[in-house]
Chains A and B, each alone.
Chain A
Amino acid sequence: MSNEEAALVERAQQGDPAAFSEIYDRHQPAIYRYISFRVGGTAAAEDLTSEVFVRVVGRIDRFKYRGRPLLAWLYTIARNLVTDHHRRVGRHTVTPLDEARPAPGEGPEARAERHLAELGVVRALGALTEEQRQVILLKFVEGMDSAEMAGLLGKTVGSVKALQHRALAALRRAMDAEEEGSRR
């Protein structure tokens, strides 16, 4: 966590609304993307993302700097909420990521094909361990390199690379199993 972020957290801990707004503007998109890939479905992702920041308000006093950025803490809250969500609705009700939004110039067939592929990715991600899933999302959705992920996850660069390797191998297996299942 940079000094600047530490100062921002301190302002938030003193109840400064502008500091909370800044935290929201900085991190809401990443938290929303993480949750979307975990639960699918726009409405559920929006609700859970909103709940993350409500919890931030209630718990910011408990946040202590331990060498990891604020975003890591937000991911922790998001992960716990996603777990609760899965418990409530059952684990197999994942819906496609963004059904309502066609890509530019995309026909209905291509769109349907893309939805199926995305659904496969989301389901395959569900078969990974939490750490594997997080490293995949940070790498390919957030565009972080291994050093950035190491800082966020509290690991060495070497162990992040090893985790990334295991995660992709597990994802490949899960996606193959998905394809196999859909062919039957």
Chain B
Amino acid sequence: MRRPLRELLDECLARTLSGEATAEECLQLYPEQADELRPLLEAATDVRQAQVPACDPAAYAAGKRRMLEALASRPLPARTSVPRALVLRRALVLAAAIFVIAAAGLLLPGWPTAEIDRQATLANAGGLVQVLPVGDDAWRAALVGERFESGDRIRTAASATAVLAFFDGSTTWLEPETEVTLAAMSSRRDGGERTTSLFQWSGATFSRVRPLPDQDSRFEIETATALAAVRGTEFALRIQEDGATLVTVNEGAVRVTGGRATVEVGELEETAVEPGGDPEPPRPAALPAPTPELPVPERLPDPPTPTRTTAPPAPTATALQPEETKDPGLVEYERTPAPVDSEITLQPFERTVLPHPIERTVTPVAVDIGKTPEPTAVIKTPAPAGTLVPVDKTETAQPALSPEPTRTPEAKPTEALALSPEPSSSPEVKPKKTNVPPGQTKTPPGQATKTPAAAANP
């Protein structure tokens, strides 16, 4: 059987990097795939030949000194217990101080012009949307209504979309497989000098930008090849397969910078910026960029309030994760904010089968598997709830640490869930609680579904 190219490539790289064989010797081992392997191994050789940079010893020492100085100036964590009365008194004094400072601030001439950080809200989502909070090292599922700060990264999975609503009323839709960093969001306290700045890593966005109040305000999206800056407009920005950035303007104008040149793209025009190149001269767009279908709610949703009343099932319970979003620290479960027709309760080390249509209506949440599972988890579905299947506890012992999880990228969610092909035929376990008997649903399959851990987002 012919081995996948990625396997052969990995083997060849291991051999060449260890000095066991040259690239040519590897190619001779696999003559059928030599034509495909050769350019990849050549690229690897070019990277290896680049000199590995080493830090200057003086800079190394200076960096360490700077770190230790920062440590010395850091306030020490409070370690002593303080009597409750004293805590209350301190809180009152602090509140009074804050009131006095705030009142004084209102009278200060510079107060209205002070710059303050702003936020964006996940106004709507269809499918898996994740956030990597600034300074954090793990992606987790984002919830509708969640607020994001400058530096947070947001991404959508395949076939997922999202709408970000910014503090000034501007909105940006994220198409499937899109990733952006909210690089900066700020304004003056009086609302002037608005800055909304995104870095788009991949995918496609569509932005509707509110007119900016002054010359110092800006809304811009940067990519690896271009910077698109606007002053109140509607435009789409797509990063293409070859890394080029394509900007299409529906209304207003967008100033696109790349390389050493800037062009102004007007209404119903578009331009492309190749990696390392200048923007192409604007040309008429064949069609205006289509407005995304995902609606923006008139009123922004409230921030989600985490509760632990329904807990996640054991970590090895069936998880839905696209290949690129797998993270050993997270397991994601399905959830939609819709009415519920049936409900079952999972005990630790049990898992269940969910109906097929659920995969089209999911909004996942993340569960930190490093935490001990809570006693039970509730799964609610519109279709017949599945049958509980006890999970082998030995299987759950180290789920996230296995270098090769048993989930395969090819497995469809429903396949992964299908632990018991005939839910009702499993006699050894029964649903703990069912609002609607299996087989009787109030809503058709494919509509509203809800699954556990709705509030288990860490």
Contact = CB atoms under 8 A, between A and B. Distances in A.
Interface of A: 14-15, 17, 20-21, 24-25, 28-29, 32-33, 36-37, 42, 45-46, 49-50, 53-59, 61-68, 72-73, 76-77, 80, 83-84, 86-87, 91-92, 97-98, 101, 103, 114, 117-118, 120-123, 126-131, 136, 139-141, 143, 145-147, 150-151, 154-159, 161-162, 164-165, 168-175, 177-178, 181
A128 B17 CA distance: 22
10 closest Cβ pairs, A-B complex: A66-B329, A50-B63, A73-B137, A36-B53, A67-B328, A127-B275, A67-B329, A46-B59, A172-B43, A53-B67
B25 interface: no
Contacts of A157: 403-404
Given A32-B54, A37-B50, 15 more contacts: A57-B74, A66-B329, A68-B138, A76-B132, A76-B137, A91-B225, A92-B260, A97-B51, A117-B46, A118-B51, A126-B276, A136-B47, A143-B17, A158-B408, A162-B6
B199 A17 contact: no
Contacts of A128: 243
A15 B76 contact: yes
Contact of B51 (A56, A86, A114, A129): A114
A174 B275 contact: yes
Interface stretch (B8-16, B166-174, B286-294): B8-16
B56 A17 contact: no
Contact of A145 (B14, B197, B274, B326): B14
B53 A50 contact: no
B108 interface: no
A177 B227 CA distance: 21
22 contacts: A17-B71, A25-B64, A32-B54, A36-B53, A46-B56, A49-B55, A53-B63, A53-B66, A54-B67, A57-B67, A66-B138, A66-B328, A67-B329, A67-B401, A87-B183, A91-B225, A92-B276, A154-B328, A156-B326, A156-B403, A158-B404, A159-B324
A147 B10 CA distance: 11
Nearest to B79: A14
Contacts of A72: 137
B259 A92 contact: yes
B46 A159 contact: no
B140 to A, nearest CB: 9
Interface of A: prevailing SS: helix
A37 B53 contact: yes
A80 B76 contact: no
Contacts of A164: 6, 9-10, 13
A172 B40 contact: yes
B395 interface: no
Contacts of A46: 55-56, 59, 62-63
B5 A165 contact: yes
Given A33-B53, A127-B276, A28 B63 contact: yes
A143 B19 CA distance: 13
A57 B74 CA distance: 8
A17 to B, nearest CB: 6
Contacts of B431: none
B197 A87 contact: yes
Output the residue of B51, B151, B199 with the most chain A CB within 10 A: B51
Interface string B1-33: 000011101100110010000000000000000
Contacts of B50: 37, 97, 117-118, 121-122
Output the residue of B50, B62, B225 with the most chain A CB within 10 A: B50
A42 B67 CA distance: 19
A21 B44 contact: no
Contacts of A36: 53
Nearest to A61: B77
A140 B48 contact: yes
B63 to A, nearest CB: 4
A67 B329 CA distance: 5
A114 B324 CA distance: 35
Contacts of B199: 83, 87
Given A68-B138, A174-B243, A21 B68 contact: yes
Contacts of A121: 46-47, 50
A37 to B, nearest CB: 7
Output the residue of B62, B138, B183 with the most chain A CB within 10 A: B138
Contact of A97 (B53, B197, B408): B53
B64 A178 contact: no
B134 interface: yes
Contacts of B72: 17
A70 to B, nearest CB: 9
Nearest to B274: A177
Contact of A80 (B43, B49, B60, B151): B151
A161 B135 contact: no
A154 B402 CA distance: 11
Given A42-B56, A155-B326, A76 B67 contact: no
A148 to B, nearest CB: 10
A159 B322 CA distance: 11
B43 to A, nearest CB: 4
Output the residue of B13, B260, B277 with the most chain A CB within 10 A: B13
B190 interface: no
A179 B271 CA distance: 24
A158 B328 CA distance: 14
A143 to B, nearest CB: 7
Nearest to A151: B403
